[in-house]
Chains A and B, each alone.
Chain A
Amino acid sequence: MMRYGLWVATWVFILVVLVAPPAMVLSEALKDGLGAALATLSDPDGQSAIWLTLRVTVVSVAVNTVFGVLAAWLLACFRFRGRQALLVLIELPLSISPVVSGLVWLLLFGAQGWFGPQLERWNIHIAFAVPGIILATLFVTLPYVVRTLLPVMELQGRDAEEAAVLAGANFWQVLWHVTLPGVRGALLSGVLLTTARSLGEFGAVSVVSGHIPGETETMPLHIENLYNGYQSVAAFTMAALLGVMAMGAVLLRSAPEWIARLREKKA
C-alpha cells in the first residue's frame, strides 16, 4: 500500500517537475502549427545564431578534448608535487558562476581590461566578438573530458600501458593503440558532455558577446532576444531545437550500451 503511494507520488513529481518543462517547450513552439514554427527558423539572424553556436561548439570540443586527454594521461599515470592542486584547478570552472566565467574574460580583454586596449590598437577584437565567446565556452567546458576520463583510467590501472612500453611502443602509440581504445566509452561521454554544455552555455557567453544579432548571438542568446521581444513561437522553436541538440548529445552517451544490448539480442 505504502509502495503504491510512493510510486504515484514519484511519478506525479517527475511529470510535474521534470516532464512538464520540455513538453511545454514543444507545445509553445507548435502553438501556430508546425509550418509556422519551421518558418521562424529561416530568419537570417536565427540561421546565423545556429551557425555560430555550431562553430563555437566544434572549436571548444576539439581543443578541450585534445588537451583533456593529455591532462588525464598526466594525472592518471604520474604522481608529482602539486598534482592534487592541478586537479582542483581543472575542476574549478564547475563551481564558478557562468556570469563570473564570462566576466573574467572581459577583465582580460575588455576595453578596461589588462590586454584589451593594446589588442584594440592592433585591431584584434576579442571581447564582444567571436573569440571572446569561444574563450568563455572553453573555460566553462574545460573540466568535462578530464572528469569522465580520469576515474576510468585510474580504475584500469597502468598495466597495459607498461606492457606496451616494454614491447617498444612510444608515447603516441601507447595513447592511440592502448589507452584510448580502453576508455572509449568514457571519452565519448566526456566529449558529448562538453558538446552539450558548449551548445547551451548562456551566462558566460552572454557577458562577453555584446549581443549583436547576426554577428555575436549564439542560439541561447538569440532565444533570450526573441523571448524578450515577445516572439514566443520563434523563441520556443529555437529553444526546442537547442534542447533537442543538447539532450540528444547527453542521451547519446548511452549509445554504446544500446548497441551492445542490441548485439546481445541478436546473438
Chain B
Amino acid sequence: MSIEVSALERFAPGRRKPLLSKVSLDVPDSAFVALVGPSGAGKTTLLRAIAGLDPYQGGTVSLDGQVMKDVSARAGQVGFVFQNYALFPHMTAARNIAFGLDILPAARRPTRERINERVRELLELMQIPDLGGAYPARLSGGQRQRVALARALATGPRVLLLDEPFGALDPIVRRSIRSWLRDLHDRLGLTTILVTHDQEEALDVADRIVVMQDGQIVQDASPVALDRSPATEFVMEFLGEAVSFPGDVRSGRMVPHDPLVQPFAVPETVVDGSAVAMIRPYEIQLVPAQPGQEALLKAAPRGARNGYRHYVLNSAGHSIPFFLPQDGVDHALEGAALDVSRARLFRDGLACL
C-alpha cells in the first residue's frame, strides 16, 4: 500500500514555529523507509500524523490514493508500534494481539476459533509461541516488542509504522530484532516507515532514508546516495563522524586553509569562493608531502577497530581523527600530508555541485 503525504502542516498550540512545515513524502508500495533526525526534528510528529493520531492544520495523508480523514478511517489498515509498546497491561499477550479482532462488530468478527488460530499464527511468526498466556509485566523488553508488533499486524494492515521501536532494547537484542524485522517486512509485503534517531540502524534496514530537521525533510535518498552526496553539512554530520576543512575553491581546485592538507581537484561546475570540505575519517589518506609543504609531525595512535588503526592529529588547535588500514604496511607519518580528495564540498551549509 502506497503512502502519499502532501504539504502536511502542524502547529503546536500557542507556538508560531510549526512542528511540521509543508512536509511532502511519497512512499511506494512495499518500501522500507526510515525517518531519521535529531530529537525534536519532527519524525514522531510526522509518523503520528500519518497514523492520524494527531490533528494537522494543512495538507493530506492518503493511502493508495485515498485521502484519510481521521484515525477511524485508518483503523485496521495501519499497524502502529509505540515507543513504549503501549501494551494493555490487564490483558495477556494473546488478548493484546487479538484486541483488533475482538472489538469488531459481531457481523464482521471472525469466530473465536479463527481469532485464536490467528493469534497462534502471529505468536509463531514472532517466534514467541509459548508466551500467549503471559501478562505484559512479565515479559522482557524484546518479548514486549514482539507482542506489540503482533498486535499491530493482527488486523492484516498493509502499512506498518514504527516509532523508535528499538529504543528500550539492549544493543545485542536490537541488532538481531532489526534484521528479523526487515525479513518480516519482505515476507509480508508490508510498506514500513520506521522512526529512529540512530542513523546506523536506519542505514542497516531501510531502502530509503528520510532525514528531517526542524520540521522539514532535508534529504530523501537511498543509503548509498545519501552517503555519496549528502545534501547539507547537517546530513553529512548526522550520518557519521565527519571532519571539516575550510578552504577556497580557485579555478577547479580546492585549497584547504590547513597547510597539512593537500589541495585537490573539484568538478568544474563548482564556482570559485570559500567552501568547506567534509570527509569521513576512514576516507582520509596519507600521501608524501609536496616539496615546501609542512610535514606531518605528531599523530598519536588511539586504538584500532575493524581493521583500521585510529590516529588523532593535532593541527592549529583542531584535532583531526583519521583511520589507516592495518595492512601490515608501516605508514610513514614523517613527511606525509593528508589527502582528502574524497571529501564532499559544502558552501553555506549546502552541498555544492
Q: Do chains A and B touch in the complex (CB under 8 A)?
A: no
